[in-house]
């Protein structure tokens, strides 16, 4: 049965809205893994509820952890996590979630029997080779180089060299479970630069908060000592990457959007939106209070193009590209060749969909060049990519007749997206 396209609403007037955001996907899925491997029961509060988070919960349950919900709302839940011995014989569905396909196989290598993995059709195309080779080098057996595959432990841990230029998640995935490897792990990266360093920092900080010893003093080398992972009671920050399309709406419409509870200090890459959106013509203000702040972005309706290296914050590329397509001067996005291995080839998808609407976007070796050109309505394909769908919504604010294909794919990290978008436009 084909689902009708979503007519992206245009904004008749400048937006003026406060948009509270549910928890970060990246923090939620790390916190759940650490809780499931911890030395006792713990709590993950204000965890995100979304397809990627649900897949992580199902995977950890299949591997023997107990996760019980409380304080449930459609977007958020507190998980009470009781670790158990890691159980073999499980089948894990990774969906299209990078965090599940890269963070869970190292846990599976601790199980008392084989664990099989598969995912969505496109998940079979996402890069996995370096982390699977690393697990083999550390002692596990794995029967393929991409999904589907079966992991059979045990592993001993130790030293491994890999090329993590395709995804920071290869490093994060190994580190998250490594305290439970008999010898811990020393990971050396050899190759072009590792993207998404803030996400690696997030892993290191969350491990240290769980009393795991991590040495990251040498560039491109990470050492995790074997030992217990402390059970904790943690609260997940709002998802700052999911703030991107809402804050972009302020620039597109010449309005103002406030995100409550923006953390004062964070490893989330979405924090870079403050600088990026300022460069594109917005004013960014923080109203400080204990530990966090309300962040307000105000636009003028005119968007300035930028020349930006987004290697560290690749997740933000679809929103920045959507803004660039509406800007008055050209934009060059660099440093994001690894986006070809994301939910879809995001560089090809963004260029194709912007050009389909009459725009002028060109793929480069490691990014995009987007030049100003008037856009017209049409179908904006999402390629099962949540951030493509939200990029279409941003363009549709100004361009009448944009129809986003499969808006439901936003459920990967923000199931309430369409309702929140409408509420933002209706709020005054």
Catalytic residue among 211, 225, 288, 315: 315
Site for ligand PEP in 392-421 (CB under 6 A): 413
- Closer residue to ligand S3P (CB): 166 or 396: 166
Site map for ligand PEP, 276-315, x if CB under 6 A?
---------------------------------------x
Calpha distance 32→232 (Å, rounded): 11
> Annotated binding residue at 196?
yes
Q: Which residues pair with 284 in a beta bridge?
A: 297
For residue 9, CA distances in Å to 255, 374, 399, 413 come to 16, 18, 9, 21
Known catalytic membership, residue 315: yes
Among ligand S3P, ligand PEP, none, what does residue 43 contact (CB within 5–8 Å per kind)?
none
Q: In this structure, are residues 336 and 314 in contact, taking their beta carbons and an 8 Å threshold?
A: yes
Which of 387, 388, 402, 411 lies at the binding interface for ligand PEP (CB under 6 A)?
A: 387
Of 314-373, binders to ligand PEP (CB under 6 A) are 315, 342-343
SS3 69: strand
User: What is residue 171's three-state secondary structure?
Assistant: helix
Buried b vs exposed e over 363-381: b needs ≥16 C-beta within 10 Å? eeebbbbbbbeebebeebb
Q: Which does 338 bind (CB under 5 to 8 A by kind): ligand S3P, ligand PEP, none?
A: ligand S3P
Residue in this structure with the two tokens 């988070």, named with its chain if needed? 53
From the list ligand PEP, ligand S3P, none, which binds 239 (C-beta under 5 to 8 Å, kind-based)?
none
Length of the chain: 428
The residue (of 21 and 399) whose beta carbon lies closer to ligand PEP is 21
Q: Pick the closer one to ligand S3P by CB: 337 or 393.
A: 337
322 is written with which tokens? 């959507």
Q: Using CB under 6 A, pick the residue from 98, 299, 359, 392 that binds ligand S3P.
A: 98
Min dist CB 204 to ligand PEP, Å, is 18
Which residues within the stretch 317-346 sit at the binding site for ligand S3P (CB under 6 A)?
A: 338
How far is Cα 195 from Cα 333, in angstroms, rounded to an integer?
Answer: 14
Which region, left, alpha or beta, applies to residue 53 given φ > 0 means left and ψ of -120 to 50 means alpha? alpha
Which residues ranging from 82 to 141 are in contact with ligand PEP (CB under 6 A)? 97-99
Nearest 5 degrees, angle CA 222-CA 82-CA 180? Answer: 25
Q: Say whether 150 sits in a helix, a strand or coil.
A: strand
The reply, when asked if residue 346 is annotated as ligand binding, is yes
The DSSP symbol for 382 reads: -
Continuous segment of H or E residues that includes residue 17 = strand 16-18
Please check if 371 is assigned to a binding site: no
| Partner that binds at residue 97, options ligand S3P, ligand PEP, none, CB closer than 5 to 8 Å by kind | ligand PEP
Residue with smaller CB distance to ligand S3P, 99 or 258: 99
Site size for ligand PEP (CB under 6 A)? 8
**DSSP labels for 231-295?**
P-EEEPPB-SSTHHHHHHHHHHHT-EEEEEEEESS---GGGGHHHHHHHTT-EEEEEEETTEEEE
Considering only the stretches 12-20, 147-155, 167-175, 316-324, report the one whose residues sit in contact with ligand S3P under the rule CB under 6 A. Answer: 167-175
196 binds ligand S3P (CB under 6 A): yes
Binding residues (CB under 6 A) for ligand S3P: these are: 26, 98-99, 167-169, 172, 195-196, 199, 314-315, 338
Binding residues (CB under 6 A) for ligand PEP: these are: 97-99, 315, 342-343, 387, 413
Catalytic residue annotation: 315
Which residues contribute to the annotated binding site for 3-phosphoshikimate?
25-26, 30, 167-169, 196, 315, 342
Which residues contribute to the annotated binding site for phosphoenolpyruvate?
25, 98, 126, 169, 346, 387, 412
């Amino acid at each position: 049965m084909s689902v009708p396209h979503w007519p992206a609403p245009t904004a008749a007037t400048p937006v003026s809205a406060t948009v509270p955001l549910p928890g970060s996907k990246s923090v939620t899925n790390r916190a759940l893994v650490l809780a499931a491997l911890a030395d006792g029961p713990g709590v993950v509060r204000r965890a995100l509820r979304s397809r990627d988070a649900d897949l992580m919960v199902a995977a950890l349950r299949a591997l023997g952890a107990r996760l019980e919900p409380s304080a449930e709302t459609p977007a958020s839940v507190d998980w009470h996590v009781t670790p158990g011995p890691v159980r073999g014989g499980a089948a894990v569905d990774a969906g299209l979630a990078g965090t599940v396909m890269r963070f869970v196989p190292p846990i599976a290598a601790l199980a008392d029997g084989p664990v099989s993995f598969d995912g969505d059709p496109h998940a079979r195309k996402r890069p996995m080779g370096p982390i699977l080779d690393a697990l083999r080098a550390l002692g596990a057996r794995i029967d393929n180089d991409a999904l589907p595959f079966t992991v059979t432990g045990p592993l001993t841990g130790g030293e491994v060299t890999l090329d993590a230029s395709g995804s920071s998640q290869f490093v994060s995935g190994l580190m998250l479970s490594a305290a439970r490897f008999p010898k811990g792990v020393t990971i050396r990266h050899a190759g072009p630069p590792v993207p998404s360093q803030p996400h690696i920092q997030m892993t290191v900080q969350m491990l240290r908060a769980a009393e795991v010893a991590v040495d990251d003093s040498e560039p491109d080398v990470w050492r995790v000592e074997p030992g217990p992972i402390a059970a904790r009671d943690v609260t997940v920050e709002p998802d700052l990457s999911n703030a991107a399309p809402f804050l972009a709406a302020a620039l597109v419409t010449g309005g103002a959007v406030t995100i409550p509870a923006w953390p004062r200090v964070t490893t989330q890459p979405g924090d870079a939106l403050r600088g990026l959106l300022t460069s594109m013509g917005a004013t960014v203000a923080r109203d400080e209070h204990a530990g966090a702040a309300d962040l307000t972005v105000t636009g003028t309706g005119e968007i300035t193009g930028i020349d930006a290296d987004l290697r560290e914050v690749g997740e933000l590329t679809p929103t920045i590209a959507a803004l660039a397509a509406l800007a008055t001067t050209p934009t060059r996005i660099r440093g994001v060749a690894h986006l070809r291995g994301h939910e879809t080839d995001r560089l090809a998808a963004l260029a194709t969909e912007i050009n389909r609407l009459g725009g002028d976007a060109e793929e480069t070796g490691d990014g995009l060049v987007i030049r100003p050109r008037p856009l017209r309505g049409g179908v904006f394909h999402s390629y099962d990519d949540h951030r493509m769908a939200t990029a279409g919504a941003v363009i549709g604010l100004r361009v009448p007749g944009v129809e986003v294909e499969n808006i439901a794919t936003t459920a990967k990290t923000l199931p309430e997206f369409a309702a929140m978008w409408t509420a933002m436009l209706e709020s005054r």
